[in-house]
Amino acid sequence: MTGPLHARLIRRIAAEGPLTVADFMAAALLDPRDGYYTRATPLGDESGRGGDFVTAPELTQVFGELLGLWCLEAWQRLGAPPHFKLVELGPGRGSLMSDVLRSLALIPGCRAAAEIHLVEVSPRLRAMQRDRLRGAKVTWHRGIATLPAGFAVILANEFLDALPIRQFEKTPQGWRERLVVRDGAGGLTFALSGTLPSGLLDAPDAATGAILEHCSAATAVAEALAERFRGSPGAALFIDYGYATRPWKGSLQAVAGHRKVPALSDPGCADLSALVDFFALGQAAERAGARVHGPVTQAALLQALGIEERSAGLQHGKSPEVARAIAAACRRLIAPGGMGESFLAISLEAPGLESPAGFPLA
């Protein structure tokens, strides 16, 4: 059984023709009536029950506290301005921002200077954020275009992976775009476009069968922040699962109930994501004038920020059971072969700023 968006997409394809993978992702995630982020509760309830996936801030408060230290240090590098925009893109249930604010309070002047801005499209998640950050003054936005000017420190954890991608496949005849079409049984399937003009894609070394993924939305975010930082100094930290060297294979995946499901099976009822191309992201930001640091692994970033020390401190005085749970969650964040290596971090900075905490000196 499929949801209402499936039937609407079938009708759209019949009327307008095949969809790009980006068109499909945008509809499945953001349709104003039946999109996943419109109707679903991706992270479950406050106790962690239900939902479709779990993110690092939900595993342990240590993650957000360490990123809070990164933000505090960024504020100091900006000259400790009396007012700055503390921005989070895709803030989930508000857990990360809540933990970040606790770290900023270590220097009261920093916490008092922070003006909180959250970029969130999901009405349900906005309600959770409002509840979690009760007592704090928060301004919500649907996109970065409405963020006010001024000094800014920007965080984005697992934000870029949900931005729509296009996919291209190298065939013996040349590059073709992967499209979403109706299959013979009334469902959705992938198909290939006609051969694209030679030279349209800059990937001369790709072998037959290679898949190239392009996320124009991610590069647009990088370019917009770089342009912003030329006039309003700031720093941005992105953490996501991705790669610095193209793997030449498709990474689109769908998750529902903490399990992978077929990407096209039930649009609007599963989370869709794809690996982030950190090399392309950094290139776009540099071309637009930002300084780029990284990418580094999540493990390297968190270890540099003091995850072992904070984990040990948080365990002190706790029961053995609670202490083991804290230690296990922190180990998971930096595990080799797991989150520690599959998640990468990159920082985009205004020209002239010193190197950010957690990244090798430029």
DSSP codes of every residue in 17-58: -PEEHHHHHHHHHH-TTT-HHHH--TT-STTS-SSS---HHH
Indicate if the alpha-carbon torsion angle 200, 206, 209, 215 is positive or negative: negative
- Angle, to 10 degrees, between the axis of helix 61-77 and the axis of helix 298-305? 70
Among candidate residues 117, 94, 103, 96, the one with its CA nearest the CA of residue 75: 103
Tokens standing for residue 265: 């099976």
Task: Tell which wins on pLDDT, 39 or 28.
Answer: 28
Q: Confirm if 180 and 190 have CB atoms less than 8 A apart.
A: yes
Give the pLDDT score at 89: 98
Categorize the per-residue pLDDT at 51 as very low, low, confident or very high, splitting at 50, 70 and 90: low
**Spatial distance between the Cα atoms of 88 and 70, rounded to a whole number of angstroms:** 13
Domain locations in the chain? 4-349
Res 226 pLDDT > 50: yes
**Spatial distance between the Cα atoms of 99 and 326, rounded to a whole number of angstroms:** 15
Give the pLDDT score at 41: 62
Q: 103-112, 187-196, 203-212, 290-299 — which is least confidently predicted? A: 203-212
Among candidate residues 357, 36, 68, 347, the one with its CA nearest the CA of residue 222: 347
Res 52 pLDDT > 70: no
| HSE-CB of 244 using CA atoms within 13 angstroms | 13
Tokens standing for residue 297: 């692994």
Helix (H) and strand (E) counts for the chain? Answer: 14, 16
The per-residue pLDDT of the chain, averaged, comes to 93
Categorize the per-residue pLDDT at 185 as very low, low, confident or very high, splitting at 50, 70 and 90: confident
243: CB partners within 8 A, 6+ apart: 275, 276, 277, 278, 279, 344
Give the pLDDT score at 362: 58
Distances (CA, A) of 245 to 171, 249, 279, 362: 21, 12, 7, 20
Res 42 pLDDT > 70: no
Q: Confirm if 6 and 267 have CB atoms less than 8 A apart.
A: yes
Res 43 pLDDT > 80: no
What average pLDDT does range 210-233 have in this prediction? 96
What is the architecture, at CATH level 2, of domain 4-349? 3-Layer(aba) Sandwich (3.40)
Categorize the per-residue pLDDT at 1 as very low, low, confident or very high, splitting at 50, 70 and 90: low
What average pLDDT does range 17-26 have in this prediction? 98
47: CB partners within 8 A, 6+ apart: none
Res 194 pLDDT > 90: yes
Categorize the per-residue pLDDT at 46 as very low, low, confident or very high, splitting at 50, 70 and 90: very low
**Spatial distance between the Cα atoms of 292 and 30, rounded to a whole number of angstroms:** 30
Indicate if the alpha-carbon torsion angle 56, 57, 59, 61 is positive or negative: positive
Q: 80-94, 257-271, 312-326 — which is least confidently predicted? A: 257-271
Tokens standing for residue 165: 């991608």
